[in-house]
Amino acid sequence: MNRHNAHVRVAVDIGGTFTDLHLHDGRSNKTFVWKTPSTPADPSVGLLEGLHSISELAGIALSDIGMILHGSTIATNAVLERKLPTGALITTKGFHDVLEIGRHMRRDVYTLNAESRPLLIPRHLRFGVTERVKSDGSILQPLDEAEISRIASQLREHKVQTVAVVFLHGYRNPTHEQRVQALLNDLLPDITVATSFDSSPEIREFERTSTTVLNALLQPVISSYLQRVDKRLQQAGIHARLYLVQSNGGLATPADAARLPARLLLSGPAGGATAMSILAQRHNEANLVGLDVGGTSSDISVLTDGSIGETQESSIDGLPVRLPMVEIRTIGAGGGSIARVETGSLRVGPQSSGAVPGPVCYDRGGDQITVTDANALLGLINPDTFRTGGITLNVHASGNVLEETLGTPLSLTNSAAANGVLEVANSHMADAIRLSLFEKGADPADFALAPFGGAAGLHACAIATELGMRRIIFPAHASTLSALGILQANIRHDLSVAALVPAHTDSLPALQRAIKQLLTECKDKLTDNELYHEDCAIEFSGDMRYRGQAFELTTPWPEVSAEGEINEQSILALIEHFHTIHEQRFAFTARHDPIEVVTVRAQAIGKIGGTVTTETFHNTAGKPGGSAENRQVLAASGENTTIPCISRSDFLHRAQPVRGPLIIEEEYTVLLIANGWTVTPLPGSDILCTCNNDA
């Protein structure tokens, strides 16, 4: 055991509405769950409240907490709400508009005025300096250092707090970027500086600039938040080690997070995706689709052959982020998605009623029918579920609005219209899942569905049916699943070296150099984290493409030895892996075409996540919700049918398979088991749901 392996670990997932916590006590091998309202003005307040409550529940002292693993949407919200400091961009002279021009294609094809394009640094704060690096990394024009002092005085004048430095081909030769950083550190010690080489050392200037700018703007935000957390923890007598969850699902130290905060941008869904792999391991599922249905949107993640899909690029609010992260497809379909009639069709989303005014049935001024209204109208939502959040459901109001806006125009009864809303919403989610799997060349029939988040349980059977999926796993603690994932996360560093060499045995020396360099950097990072050899794993991969392609496939390279040695055989193996992956994804290979290795990557993993055994899972917050009596549900035909209803804890307690239709209720969510499906309790309080005609 190393010093990271504290007895008491707490995972925290701070979302917009709730702060979820899971505490694992290694001494008793018990896990406790807690949920408390978030405090958006200063999320560290809610964090401390949660720590107090869960410690009390677990019967431990605050000072017993050895490790806090922190996931949050703080970076994401700062960007979405533009709560960012004043930043500037320093770039190669002649190219200060690259950030604003972007890739200049539009998403709205037929329109008279252009969609708005987000821009985080205004033109008068973007500065070009004389310098130039060529594509091979050689210096064409030296940096004019005198210009930097002139720019520094303007930065001071405009009260700039943070600066992004991005030079053309800076991913290949960072000398000029690093020199500017050093000069600014001397001239303006109070401002933070992010270079593109540090932030995202990858080719394509716009995407790299966008990522670096986000990194620069978030540095002060995350630093000050971490200082507040640190202070509050100290005041409370907590001396735990703190780690932050990154978009790749791995953990980072506060120092690394403050330096590279763009890596936290999509950490919200990453915890859920990590939980997917735990779920898969627990039940021996090789292939899982995670479906997290929230109020305004749904997140889809895919686990294939036991590993979570990752991508090297994503975006936030239309701004590209070029960093390794868990691959999530987000679509505008959730509980709050609005249904309307357009040219005789029933359309649902992507517009959402949001939390305010919300669905009609919330009685908060919402006057458009949402997916939640449809569920409520059909009798699928227990009003008690909402009472905890202080909402009394007004289903009558939903009925009136539905009749007026959907039923009458489409000549449908209310029950048919409400069922129709669900069917269309489900088809959106199914199409999105199919698209996610399509990109991997995978067939939905080979996957099980894992629904979580507040609203997924009602839609899972219908979506699985539409996709031809035959197994659904309803995880325990569906509403706090991200925190469970975080509890078992590991420290992770993603490092890369630009290579751009032919995938050929002739490239052995170049590839060997790249690997050795990465290995040294990985070991340094892990040593900084005070991790010892036996707790570490370093995995290599190569981003490869047929010569001429724009997109590389990240190809795992297990043939690299632990000492970072490769030979001609390992290069041939890498090439073979690439052909296989290309065939899987795109249904063809070009075996006679030259292949390139564009980037060599290394993942350094510091294993600190102990396994939380499921049998000892101690559920305390999940009080059985629901009155567990039969429920009247409206069918599309308009007839009332009676569906048996049971609380999750009762169902698990009985430990017997039950055939649908059935409603299973728990505190924050409801599961609808459709006709034709059977549910069986699984170890770890999870529930397996299978298609009957499978048997």
Partner 1 sequence: MNNIVDPVRLEVIRNALLAGAEEMNISIWRTARSTVVRETLDYSTAIFDGRGRAIAQSTRIPVHLNSMSTCLEDIVEHHIPLDQWNDGDVIMTNDPYCGGQHLPDFVIFKPVFHHEERIAISAAIVHHIDVSGGAAGSYFAGAKEVFHEGLRIPPIKLTEAGKDNQPVLDIVRQNSREPVKIAGDLQAQLAALTVGARAVERLVKRYDNATLSQAMEQILAQSEQAMRDTISAIPDGTYTFKDFVDDDGQQAQDLEVVATVTISGDRCTADLSESADQAPGPVNCTLNMARSGVYCALLSIAEGRAMANSGAYRPIDVISREGSIVNCSHPAPVANRMATGHRVVTTVLGALSQAIPEQVPAAYYGVSYVTALAAPDRHVKDERRVYFEIEVGGWGAYPQGDGADGFSAGFHNLANSPIEMCESIFPVVFTEYGFIADSGGDGQYRGGLGLAREWQLDEEWGLLSGNFDRFRHPPYGLHGGEDGSLGRFLLIRDNQTTALPSKVSGVELQRGDKVRLETSGGGGWGDPTDRDKAARENDQRGGYVST
Residues found near partner 1 in the complex (CB under 8 A): 94-98, 100-101, 103-114, 117, 122-124, 132, 134-135, 140, 168-169, 171, 203-207, 341-348, 410, 412, 419-420, 423-424, 427-428, 431, 434-435, 438-439, 500, 546-551, 585-588, 590, 593
Residue 437 Cβ vs partner 1, minimum distance, rounded to whole Å: 10
Q: Return the number of the residue (110 or 694) whose C-beta is nearest partner 1.
A: 110
Q: Return the number of the residue (237 or 318) whose C-beta is nearest partner 1.
A: 318
Q: Count Cα neighbours of 544 within 13 Å in the Cβ-side half-sphere.
A: 28
CA distance 396 to 412: 18
Residue 564 Cβ vs partner 1, minimum distance, rounded to whole Å: 27
Residue 123 Cβ vs partner 1, minimum distance, rounded to whole Å: 4
Q: How far is CA 306 from CA 54, 281, 282, in A?
A: 32, 7, 11
Q: Count Cα neighbours of 437 within 13 Å in the Cβ-side half-sphere.
A: 24
Residue 287 Cβ vs partner 1, minimum distance, rounded to whole Å: 19
Q: How many helices (H) and strands (E) does the chain have?
A: 19, 36
Q: Return the number of the residue (21 or 424) whose C-beta is nearest partner 1.
A: 424
Residue 603 Cβ vs partner 1, minimum distance, rounded to whole Å: 23
Q: Return the number of the residue (500 or 537) whose C-beta is nearest partner 1.
A: 500
271 and 301 in contact (C-beta within 8 Å)?
no
332 and 325 in contact (C-beta within 8 Å)?
no
Q: Return the number of the residue (11 or 374) whose C-beta is nearest partner 1.
A: 374
Residue 460 Cβ vs partner 1, minimum distance, rounded to whole Å: 17
Residue 197 Cβ vs partner 1, minimum distance, rounded to whole Å: 13
> The tokens of 675 are what?
């006709």
Q: Return the number of the residue (113 or 284) whose C-beta is nearest partner 1.
A: 113
- Measured in whole angstroms, the distance separating CA 391 from the mean position of its chain's CA atoms is 29
Question: What string of DSSP letters covers 402-427?
Answer: HIIIIIHHHT--HHHHHHHHHHHHHH
Q: Count Cα neighbours of 338 within 13 Å in the Cβ-side half-sphere.
A: 18
Residue 489 Cβ vs partner 1, minimum distance, rounded to whole Å: 30
Q: Return the number of the residue (532 or 551) whose C-beta is nearest partner 1.
A: 551
Helix H, strand E, coil C: the string for 522-555 is HHHHHHHCCCCHHHEEEEEEEEEEECCCCCCEEE
| Amino acid code (one letter) for 650 | D
Q: Return the number of the residue (80 or 140) whose C-beta is nearest partner 1.
A: 140
Residue whose C-alpha is closest to residue 2's, from 539, 493, 534: 534
Residue 83 Cβ vs partner 1, minimum distance, rounded to whole Å: 22
Residue 113 Cβ vs partner 1, minimum distance, rounded to whole Å: 4
Residue 107 Cβ vs partner 1, minimum distance, rounded to whole Å: 6
Residue 103 Cβ vs partner 1, minimum distance, rounded to whole Å: 4
Helix axes 43-58, 205-235, angle to 10 degrees: 50
Largest CA distance in the chain: 80
Burial class (CB in 10 A: 0-12, 13-18, 19+), 41: exposed
Q: Return the number of the residue (123 or 156) whose C-beta is nearest partner 1.
A: 123
CA distance 449 to 285: 10
Q: Return the number of the residue (250 or 349) whose C-beta is nearest partner 1.
A: 349
CA distance 564 to 385: 55
Residue whose C-alpha is closest to residue 308's, from 321, 324, 331, 330: 324
Residues in the chain: 695
Q: Return the number of the residue (135 or 527) whose C-beta is nearest partner 1.
A: 135
Q: Return the number of the residue (433 or 604) whose C-beta is nearest partner 1.
A: 433
Q: Return the number of the residue (104 or 533) whose C-beta is nearest partner 1.
A: 104
- Which residues make Cβ contacts (< 8 Å) with residue 446, sequence separation at least 6? 287
555 and 539 in contact (C-beta within 8 Å)?
no
Question: What string of DSSP letters covers 459-505?
Answer: THHHHHHHHT--EEEE-TTGGGHHHHHHHT--EEEEEEEEEEEESSG
Residue 268 Cβ vs partner 1, minimum distance, rounded to whole Å: 25
